[in-house]
A and B are shown apart, each in its own frame.
Chain A
Amino acid sequence: MSAPLAPGAAAQIPSDAAWLLVFACWLVATSATLGALFFSEVMELPPCTLCWYQRIFMFPLVLLLPMGLFPFDAKVVRFALPLALAGWLVSIFQVLLVAGWIPESIRPCSQGVPCSEVQVEWLGFVNIPLLSFLAFSTMNALLVAAHLRSKR
């Protein structure tokens, strides 16, 4: 079994790393999705409009990334990255909103739950928008790394 694979062995090492990177990205997406569902469905915190936009970019990755894992197809990065980037931009916007760096007048959500309202806070600074920002940042980094690895 190993003999016919020998010529491709050099390419297998980076692709194994790429597989693990995409898998790690899926782990982040799934943890974030379950976390978001925990906040809204179990803790019954109403999601604000910006949260919904971030969910729109996060939730599909839970199903999309495994499609590229089995069997491994490095092109999955091409399909996942636009979603991860868009979600990342929305999360940056909300983090700035919560921090008060974006002024009142251009806040997009005036009805329902204000997106600048902090509903949950741990250690005095960890809140839900920050978690979302960290998740999207990590996912983008992992996807870019997977892309670079598989290119080599």
Chain B
Amino acid sequence: MSRKSKRNQATQDAPAPQAPARSGGISRRSLFIAAVAALLLAFVSGALFYSSEKAQAAQRLAAKNRELLASAHSPSYGNADAKVHIVEFLDPACETCAVFYGHVKKLMADNPGRIRLSTRHVPLHQGSEHVVRMLESARAQDKYWEALAAVFAGQDRWTLNHRVYPERAWPALEGLGLDLERVRREMNAADVAARMERDAADARTLGVTKTPEYFVNGRPLPRFGLEELQALVREELRSAYK
């Protein structure tokens, strides 16, 4: 019986939208359209508000960054007087870091003498701390940049599915003119540990939780991406070298 009455009711209700007076003055259709409009408006204004807030927060962070980023202990590459300074937080085991490294080098080659690069180490992968120690130790022999490039180039031989096999990274350092015995001996030295501690502390303060993370003259990327990095560097180059 109830099933039947339901069916009757459905057929009776079919012309409902043509009888707007029934739902207390406003028609169902206009109620629905008003709701769609209100929800979309809320979404769009929320999105606009959020992105402007985020941009302001990035600016504030940038202002706070300058002293933390200007770390005298970090390896630095390129013209010391360059007016555009890229600070990169990297993990030697991070694939994206290895890919981006080539692009950063190309940006520097395309703008000779105008870009300086500093690196900070954030070993987020388990086991990549060992590789960071190797790199830090190579600095004593003035071979950091060669070692970093070699470690990135041979990355697929010492990482597998985001797992790090630190011992397999050693062959990558062969043929660079490094005294590997000395690297091994010095990689556990107190100054290496102190520099790594400093990098980790600054990364925490700056909210670096992913690698690679770039700061160009203290400004963070508005959102992660190669094009965003290139655009930010271009922008800083334009304002520094008018």
List chain A positions with a Cβ less than 8 A from chain B. Answer: 1, 5, 8, 11-12, 15-16, 19-20, 23, 26-27, 30-31, 34, 37-38, 42-44, 66, 69-75, 150-151
Question: Hey, which chain A residues are within 8 Å of B42, CB to CB?
Answer: 34
B15 x A71 contact (CB < 8 A)? yes
B223 in contact (CB, < 8 A): yes
Known: A34-B40, A72-B13, A151-B2. 11 other contacts (CB 8 A): A11-B5, A12-B12, A12-B13, A15-B13, A16-B23, A19-B23, A42-B46, A66-B32, A72-B28, A74-B6, A150-B6
B39 x A31 contact (CB < 8 A)? yes
The 5 closest A-B pairs by CB, nearest first: A42-B47, A34-B43, A11-B9, A8-B12, A72-B13
- Closest-CB distance, B28 to chain A (whole angstroms): 6
A1 x B6 contact (CB < 8 A)? no
Q: How far is the CA of A80 from the CA of B80 in the complex (A)?
A: 65
A71 x B6 contact (CB < 8 A)? no
Interface size on B, residues (CB 8 A): 30
Question: Hey, which chain A residues are within 8 Å of B6, CB to CB?
Answer: 74, 150-151
B9 x A71 contact (CB < 8 A)? no
- Closest-CB distance, B57 to chain A (whole angstroms): 12
A-B contacts, CB under 8 A, total? 72
- Closest-CB distance, B241 to chain A (whole angstroms): 32
Q: Is the interface of A mostly helix, strand, loop or mixed?
A: helix
Question: Hey, which chain B residues are within 8 Å of A74, CB to CB?
Answer: 6, 9-10
- Closest-CB distance, A55 to chain B (whole angstroms): 16
A11 x B8 contact (CB < 8 A)? yes
A34 x B39 contact (CB < 8 A)? yes
Q: How far is the CA of A55 from the CA of B10 in the complex (A)?
A: 30
B16 in contact (CB, < 8 A): yes
Q: How far is the CA of A67 from the CA of B16 in the complex (A)?
A: 14
- Closest-CB distance, B17 to chain A (whole angstroms): 6
| Partner pick for B16 among A31, A72, A151, CB 8 A cutoff | A72
B28 x A1 contact (CB < 8 A)? no
- In the complex, the chain A residue whose C-beta lies closest to that of B35 is A27
Question: Hey, which chain A residues are within 8 Å of B51, CB to CB?
Answer: 42
- Closest-CB distance, B89 to chain A (whole angstroms): 19
A1 x B19 contact (CB < 8 A)? yes
B39 x A30 contact (CB < 8 A)? yes
6 interchain pairs, CB-CB under 8 A: A34-B40, A38-B47, A42-B47, A71-B16, A72-B10, A73-B10
